[in-house]
Structure 1
């Protein structure tokens, strides 16, 4: 399943906005990234997508289910009505006895909203949404192992405040629970950790705990056949959903491995980082947020694809607002490539404020939002961060006051105003570190000019 296009009319700050999402004819990537200043409307686009998709998940769960309406506050201030139109391509679950010409792979539906007391300007049309949902419902009726697409929205409010060790709510592990709270705009990752703990309890009941294996590790030397049988028994009892989560985290964060719950001498969630076992609570906010994000995507894919040997190859749509949130620049740089490598068949729609996110992945489709207008950007692959900051994000690469003073210094040197240049250099030397690159360059240029004038 992929979103091909979305059209927003009088939504947020957009009067009439049409957006094609990757992959497109000219861009084979499965990642679309929106950049822009705060208030440019990046989040509005993601919320509009989530609103439209909520009707599909609702009608997949129940035939006449209702998704989220367009909030009245999201209607453009100068308008009385708004609409969101979405176009989906989905060729999955095509009936075997249907020819390609008979099968409709494209679906389009519209959600409309009018202010109270106003005559509606747009009308909702959900026929295709119902048709697509029914296609999956019919497939599930024929085969309960049918794969379903992930549909998930991770808003900027996602946080990891604590690691709950007491499970207050009994969770189910049914396939359709993969859509539980998947498009909630206030979601956090508490549920992910509760799910992991409860799921691992079930895994341990049917297998051999890590603590027991550690006590029996001496059998590896004294009785290798028994040790091999124990390992085979333990491997067969591994929970496939937990395995998918652990694999995704290891692929995405190579320094992290073996997420698990320690029960003795005290209860806590542990992970191995660079070979050292740590309490997950000891990790940085960025590490916890990224681990929980990747883990939650993997968890949902595993739940929705019960028959896939590798659930991480499942498909679907994932929306992530401010994907660079809390992440070190080195992680921002590899983020898109790792999303593609870990979840190769998912379509991602992201927003970011980081130049590194869009300059270090070759084929991402990048849009800039400015004053309600959309502009597709040329590939930023290979550009340095300073160039992206200047050309794409309209942001100076350094403090504007210092930048202006450095430019004045270089102008004075170029114009051979050596006394003025010497004074400007002395003032900047007091403010900047001695190893400041531009300051060192200016010192060399000034010295060359002084030598040249001394010869003359």
Structure 2
């Protein structure tokens, strides 16, 4: 499952934006208030339309807060009005079939329509029927959302009926909730660990463990001697990471006690992988090849800059058939993925595809893409003042500014060095 083209009309700050998407990695960038989270909510509304055909999950509807507002003046009094209809439409591929669907909200007292999504609903409904059959080989796509509250805003998990039979469709429970819960994840690991102890290895469980082991190994810059092992242990009632560090020392840490950065990545990877295993147990060792769409707000959340450079490649390597739509402020993330679709948002509600930033210098990205200086604004002003005084040939005052910069940045700072050379050259007496 993937979205090839997303169109948002009167959706939040987008009047009419058409956004082509990459089947692998899409990175949404822009200043605060430019609409990054709005675009992600539009994409989530589009992707979750699949759940119209699934009895065990609900799609995200177009909500009151999604309606675009415009300001107008009447007798010097500024007011706002809502603009309808609100529409989210897209073209994509579902279960190998090209499909077009849309949802809309026509007014403040209306409900989100689904008539223009009948083809998608039919495909999803057929998948549900086939997946419910005994020994079914039907693959269910994963759709999931991870917001900025994914680490702290733990919601109260729903109580399951004790006699309820396990179902593949439990993989969709709370998958697009804006608040997270790890209760389902912990229950699955606990149940599977007991089952493995009784029945022997289970391929899809081993695949989930490998996903976590690989991601943690990348986070600690492992080599082959470090033997990372991830498993659920009843003693701690938690997922435990065990490994040999670079000093040859054995370490064991419950995941719940790790730093925010480790937990942010490992919780998300564990949640994705275990949902794939629940949805498609028939895939066994290949369960991580489950297709689908995953949307992540602020992918760099809680991550060290070194981890930010690796996170996108780790996710696409571990989950090769997932279409990712992520937002970020981080230049390390922006420059880290070779074939990403970069979507630059501006405050007027425009969305523009820009050239790849792969491998570019971080300061270049700050200046040319994020439009942020690579030094504090006070330092930028001092360099601007120096250049202005140099241009006016006021060398005495230019020297004072330069000395101030030397005290702050150090005598050997490259920019200070260049400024000093410029001042010396300007003061040289040239033969006529």
TM-score bucket of the superposed structures, by smaller chain? 0.7 to 0.9
- Once the 2 structures are TM-superposed, how far is the Cα of residue 180 of structure 1 from its aligned partner? 1.1
Comparing 437-446 with 242-251, greater Cα deviation is found at: 437-446
1:17-32 → structure 2 map (5 Å cutoff): 17-23=17-23, 30-32=24-26
Q: Specify whether residues 268 and 21 from structure 1 end up closer, same or farther in structure 2 by C-alpha distance, changes over 3 A only.
A: closer
Structure 2 equivalent of residue 98 of structure 1 = none
Secondary structure of the structure 2 residue equivalent to 1:349: strand
1:237-316 → structure 2 map (5 Å cutoff): 237-254=200-217, 255=220, 257-264=228-235, 269-273=239-243, 274=245, 275-308=250-283, 309-316=285-292
In the alignment, structure 1 residue 155 sits paired with structure 2 residue 147: yes
> Of 385, 400, 406, which aligns to 1:408?
385
- Once the 2 structures are TM-superposed, how far is the Cα of residue 329 of structure 1 from its aligned partner? 1.0
Structure 2 equivalent of residue 139 of structure 1 = 130
Q: Provide the C-alpha distance between the structure 1 equivalents of 2:325 and 2:190, rounded to a whole number of angstroms.
A: 30
Structure 2 equivalent of residue 83 of structure 1 = 87
Structure 2 equivalent of residue 41 of structure 1 = 35
Deviations 1:153-203 (A, max 9, x none): 1112211579x9xx9866975321111111112224454334323432333
Relative to the length of structure 1, the TM-score reads: 0.78
Secondary structure of the structure 2 residue equivalent to 1:253: helix
Deviations 1:32-73 (A, max 9, x none): 1111112211111221222233331241236xx853321122
- Once the 2 structures are TM-superposed, how far is the Cα of residue 376 of structure 1 from its aligned partner? 0.8
Q: Specify whether residues 263 and 121 from structure 1 end up closer, same or farther in structure 2 by C-alpha distance, changes over 3 A only.
A: closer
> Of 389, 407, 412, which aligns to 1:430?
407
Structure 1 equivalent of residue 63 of structure 2 = 71
Does the CA contact (< 8 Å) of 2:30 and 2:329 recur in 1?
Answer: yes
Does the CA contact (< 8 Å) of 1:158 and 1:189 recur in 2?
Answer: no
Stretches of structure 2 that go unaligned for 5 or more consecutive residues are: 70-81, 223-227
Does the CA contact (< 8 Å) of 1:147 and 1:306 recur in 2?
Answer: no
Does the CA contact (< 8 Å) of 2:140 and 2:279 recur in 1?
Answer: yes
Does the CA contact (< 8 Å) of 1:240 and 1:302 recur in 2?
Answer: no
Deviations 1:340-378 (A, max 9, x none): 211111111111111121212111011111120111101
Structure 1 equivalent of residue 7 of structure 2 = 7
Comparing 408-417 with 275-284, greater Cα deviation is found at: 408-417
1:20-419 → structure 2 map (5 Å cutoff): 20-23=20-23, 30-61=24-55, 67-77=59-69, 78-92=82-96, 105-117=97-109, 124-140=115-131, 143-160=135-152, 173-206=166-199, 237-254=200-217, 255=220, 257-264=228-235, 269-273=239-243, 274=245, 275-308=250-283, 309-370=285-346, 371-410=348-387, 412=389, 417-419=394-396
Relative to the length of structure 2, the TM-score reads: 0.82
Does the CA contact (< 8 Å) of 1:107 and 1:132 recur in 2?
Answer: no
- Once the 2 structures are TM-superposed, how far is the Cα of residue 268 of structure 1 from its aligned partner? 5.2
RMSD of aligned C-alpha atoms? 3.1
Does the CA contact (< 8 Å) of 1:160 and 1:188 recur in 2?
Answer: no
